[in-house]
A and B are shown apart, each in its own frame.
Chain A
Amino acid sequence: MVRTSDMHPDMARNLLSLPLPEIDPQPWIAPRPLSEATVAIVTTAGMHAHDDRPFTGGSVEYRLIPGDIDFADLRMSHLSVNFDRSGFQQDINTVFPLERLRELADQGTIAGVSRYHYSFMGAQPEPTRLEKTGEEIGRLLAEDGVTAAFLTPV
């Protein structure tokens, strides 16, 4: 996220006018130590493989990003114009830090990197509409032995 004081005033005003949801304490699950964690990236940056379907307005479905994807195959079809794409254009790790995760795994800081990562369209007017696909991804990650999801919201 960004400080609202660093945003364009129009955008900051728009964000500050949105209702702030009450978030009750969540069920707490004590995780394994980091050195035993297998980590997946889940992003709302609207990324997908070049030959996959681009996102469209109101999309609540997700795109699968294989862990061995060549960065040259990644594209971003996010609809919102009010966020920076130039960081992604120069270096995909700026929003999808797969190479950084691989380095942490190589160093033994984490146990491993997931075989699959997942991407949604961000700027959702009703985030609750993502609940069903969110739960679906949770099941897929758990079945695949992933113990932590690193979320990059855009």
Chain B
Amino acid sequence: MKPPRSLFVPFPLGRPLGSPDQPDFQRDVLLTSLQLLETATETTLADYPHDAPTTGDDPWACAVALAPPEPANETEALRDQLVEEIRQLAPWHAESLKRRGRTTVGISGASMDQIEQLATLLADFATGEEPSEGEIDWNHPMPARLKFASDDLRAFYHESVTAQPGASYPTDADLNNWLFNQTLLGTVLRQIVARMSESEDRRVSGMVIGMIPAGFARAR
């Protein structure tokens, strides 16, 4: 890249401006970077002096207890369990849509009213069934479809849970801890990764690295 002026920011990967919904802080990061246009006289790497803002001293916790059941071994039953979990979050996703006016769900090709069909794909694969096409106009063939279906569901879960009232905002680690250790979706994604790892098809086994962030591959 060789940028002539760079600002090192000590924020999590994926959050180059610091924290969501913190416009004053974001503007300061942006301006500190742009001011290098006036102050730098040679190739420069400057340090941004502040950590990203956090709110509240209490650790974040999801207010809705999902109490994930032991995942069923049969496809239909597992799908019903996942759909039930999705339905528990759905009112909060509706709240997210109302408040933010948008969703980032849809990369798989699924529309918002097809979100429960993503559970069918994941349950099919997790229990060893041949995944059915369903009615979704998929953006990707298998096995990439599994990755983007799981990304869409994770986006749905994140958007739902961050629309709940709370004294503190979740960090990215809070959200991963919650999703991978306290929801059925997290358990099912681990089952899917285990099945992918065993596949002799290298396109399938190679997809493993795109499914679960480093550090969350094992249940706590």
Contact = CB atoms under 8 A, between A and B. Distances in A.
Contacts of B33: 150
Query: Which among A7, A26, A87, A104 has the greatest number of chain B C-beta atoms within 10 A?
Result: A87
Nearest to B38: A34
Contacts of A140: none
Nearest to A55: B107
B13 A1 contact: yes
Contacts of A76: 104, 107
Contacts, number: 171
Nearest to A85: B14
Contact of B20 (A23, A33, A72, A87): A87
Interface in A56-89: 56-57, 70-72, 74-77, 79-89
Contact of B13 (A29, A31, A84): A84
Interface in B103-132: 103-104, 106-107
A27 to B, nearest CB: 9
Nearest to A91: B20
B15 A84 contact: yes
Given A8-B215, A86-B170, A28 B175 contact: no
Interface in A10-62: 10-11, 23, 25-26, 28-29, 31, 33-34, 37, 39, 45, 50, 54, 56-57
A94 B106 contact: no
14 contacts: A2-B11, A2-B12, A26-B43, A54-B148, A74-B104, A82-B213, A83-B12, A85-B14, A85-B151, A87-B19, A91-B20, A104-B34, A151-B1, A151-B3
Interface of A: 1-3, 6-8, 10-11, 23, 25-26, 28-29, 31, 33-34, 37, 39, 45, 50, 54, 56-57, 70-72, 74-77, 79-91, 93-95, 97, 99-101, 103-104, 109-110, 127, 148, 150-154
